Amino acid sequence: LALGTYLIAHDENIMYMIDIHAANERINYEKYMKNLSIQQTYTTNMLFPLQFEYTHNEFLKLKDNIEFIKSLGFEIDEFGTNTYRVTSHPSWLKEGYEEESIKKIFELIIEISDKFDRVKFNEAAATRLACKMSVKANTNIGYLEQEELINNLFKCDFPYTCPHGRPTIIKYPIYELEKLFKRVNS
Ligand code: ZN
Ligand code: ZN
């Protein structure tokens, strides 16, 4: 049963209430973290190169980190005043959301460029991308998607919280429910 924001499922003993956005975030977060931590980068050439214009200060901050950006799997060059052109991107960016994802990643690099730290970068990039790419609260998802969400969630290393630390699942014992409905004596 999906109620837009939450999904309710149960087995013999326990009722599970799942926050769809938080669960989706956890799944995506672990996927992004894996992709960000592998050495091998797969690159996708873009049919239509994208241009990103910045303030001069932002432009310089990206320039400081240009080798790092390339190491992620981007092909990027300067293209006119304070503008970069991206001609390929790491293959793990979600299809259809390439521009948004690239913006997020560059925005983060600009933000932390003064005290750049790879571990912090991976964490923050995975969290922000996961949030952006996850089903929004109050969206109805189909039955197959619900099943897939639950299966993928339980395959995660840390299924019980989203990357921001919010719970993804609340468990409630069926036995307690039965007490509330006075089906059993407490
Ligand atoms: Zn979120
Ligand atoms: Zn979250």
| Ligand nearest to C-alpha 134 | 1
| Ligand nearest to C-alpha 132 | 1
Determine how β-strand 43-53 pairs with β-strand 6-10.
unpaired
Residue 63, H or E segment: helix 56-64
Nearest by Cα to 64 from 122, 56, 120: 56
Reported residue count of the chain is 186
For residue 186, how far is its CA from the centre of ligand 1 (angstroms)?
39
| Ligand nearest to C-alpha 136 | 1
Nearest by Cα to 116 from 81, 71, 158: 71
- The answer to whether 95 touches 102, Cβ cutoff 8 Å, is no
Per residue of the chain (186 residues), what is the pLDDT tens digit?
A: 666 789 998 989 999 999 999 999 999 999 999 999 987 889 999 999 999 999 999 999 999 999 999 999 999 999 999 999 999 999 999 999 999 999 999 999 999 998 999 999 999 999 999 999 998 877 788 888 999 999 999 999 999 999 999 999 999 999 999 999 988 875
For residue 14, how far is its CA from the centre of ligand 1 (angstroms)?
26
